[in-house]
A and B are shown apart, each in its own frame.
Chain A
Amino acid sequence: MAEDLLYQRFAEGAYQTILAASSRLPDDVTRALAAAHAREQEGPSRSALAFILENISLAREKSTPVCQDTGYPTFYVTLPARYDKARVKSALREQLAAATKDAVMRPNAVHSLTGKNSGNNTGELFPAVYFEECGGDRLEMKLLLKGGGSENVSAQYRLPHAPLKAGRDLEGVYRVVMHCVLEAQGFGCSPGVLGVAIGADRAQGYSLAKKQLLRGLDEKNTDPELARLEERILADSNRLGVGAMGFGGATTVLGVKAAAAHRHPASFFVTIAYGCWALRRKTMKFDGTGFEITD
């Protein structure tokens, strides 16, 4: 019985996390968009940013989705051993279905063979749920709602990349990431945030890159070399002139978050997870009775 109550409370927190992620854009992202608006010249990009800022306030006020594409929901759960992963997972699926019914989430799970929409945001590998175990007794869950348009412009490069003269070094990494931003233009709903993974295998590269989107925009990379790379890509991306929505302007990228992993001697992958301006992420901390939700 006590166990049932535990999962019931967890489920309540999960629902509120989904609602908060869908309707309340993180403060750091909102601040970065406001700064982009302030420095943009009069023109379509500036108007687009003004609409974006108005939309963010409206969604927050009305508790409605910031963007109608509520994404491919991705949960990262860190939990102590006392939790049963199957129960956590089924609670997440149930709450996602409930949030879909309440129009907090759009039904996005489409059967790849029949084309049929499941109608409740659950299906095979949908949502994505990743578990990691931890000590202590507190569960932490991060949720990322990343839209399809931005996922479609995410990319993976294999170094060396001859056409871009990108070798197996940080200069090469820089060149392919810049190319990804160029190719994305406005398609991923710029100004975007880049999650960059250097190394790993193909599968973990995408996973690590996406995970970087959970980091705060104002948080400095602890590795000085990666911090320099992030700053350089950010500055140079904003010299491309793509601008908000690809209308032409001074801000194409809001932030760059890079991580490095070990790689196989034969492989050198650089993976970029493109996050749209509507970077929806929330963290829930759950101590077994109450929960706390932060950006």
Chain B
Amino acid sequence: METKRIDLPVDRKIVADLRVGDEVRLFGKIVTGRDAAHKFLVEQKPDFVRDFLKGTFIYHCGPVMRATPSGWEVVAAGPTTSIREEPYQAAVLEEYGLAGAIGKGGMGDKTLAGLVKTGTVYLHAVGGVATLLAQRMKRVVGVHMLEELGAPEAFWIIEVEDFPALVTMDSTGASLHKTIREKSDKAFAEIIS
């Protein structure tokens, strides 16, 4: 298994070469966005987000943040369940020129088709390892919609260093989640038969 370094923003051509099972380490700016943010991106098509979303990853995460005299500090920031963004994800990736999404639990066929179409990937961060991931976040660059959406749902622009994730869905249409589901379905049928 190979660990690949990805510097952000990244060209989609580089991302399209990533395959399920590749471990990646991200460097540069990523942007958090979860349920309300995805709905907002699809329904309102805001322009102010375009600059900071292009070529990076949208991270399904509602972080714990601390206000300090020198600005915001990330306290805990693991991934949230991605499947809730399934209705929106493919459209969001395409509309804003993202390199992909980061979350947990994987996503469905609609998103997978979107990854194939746009040459992007889905990265799985380890669920719950919030303090560890916060340590890999060096700086909060900015925040948008904090008042409207609340802290967990706002767009936080965060500079990361050595942020670990696993490619579980790629632009060839492969999905680790599908593979494991099929295997476990089979095992289940055998066990309870």
Contacts and interface: CB of A to CB of B under 8 A. Distances in A.
B83 A187 contact: yes
Given A182-B184, A243-B180, A149 B130 contact: no
A129 B135 CA distance: 33
Contact of B128 (A110, A152, A278): A278
Given A187-B81, A245-B104, A67 B130 contact: yes
Interface string A194-211: 000000000000000000
Interface of A: 43-44, 47-48, 51-52, 54-55, 58-59, 62, 64-70, 102-103, 105-108, 110, 115-117, 119, 147-149, 152, 164, 175, 178-179, 182, 185-187, 189, 236, 239-243, 245-248, 276-278
Given A68-B64, A68-B130, A152-B81, A240 B188 contact: yes
A66 B64 contact: no
A248 B176 contact: yes
The 6 closest A-B pairs by CB, nearest first: A117-B150, A55-B129, A68-B76, A55-B132, A68-B130, A189-B127
Given A106-B64, A276-B128, A65 B181 contact: no
B75 A246 contact: no
A70 to B, nearest CB: 7
Nearest to A235: B191
B55 interface: no
A241 B180 contact: yes
Contacts of B127: 67, 149, 186, 189, 245, 276
25 contacts: A44-B176, A48-B166, A54-B129, A58-B131, A66-B76, A66-B130, A67-B129, A68-B62, A68-B77, A103-B65, A106-B152, A110-B150, A119-B150, A119-B151, A148-B80, A148-B81, A182-B188, A186-B104, A186-B105, A189-B104, A241-B183, A243-B180, A245-B124, A245-B126, A247-B180
B33 interface: no
Contacts of B128: 52, 55, 66-67, 69, 147, 189, 276-278
Contact of A149 (B80, B164, B180, B181): B80
B83 to A, nearest CB: 7
B129 A107 contact: no
Interface string B172-193: 0000110111011101100110
A59 B128 CA distance: 11
Max chain B C-beta neighbours (<10 A), residue from A116, A247, A248: A247
Contacts of B1: 43
Contacts of A242: 180, 184
A103 B64 contact: yes
Nearest to B83: A187
A46 to B, nearest CB: 11
Contacts of A102: 66
Contacts of B78: 67-69
B152 A108 contact: yes
Given A52-B126, A107-B152, A178 B191 contact: yes
A246 B64 contact: no
A184 to B, nearest CB: 10
Interface string B106-150: 100000000000000000101111111111000000000000001
Residue among B66, B78, B168 having the largest count of chain A Cβ atoms under 10 Å? B78
A70 B126 CA distance: 16
B23 interface: yes
B42 interface: no
Interface string B75-100: 11110110100000000000000000
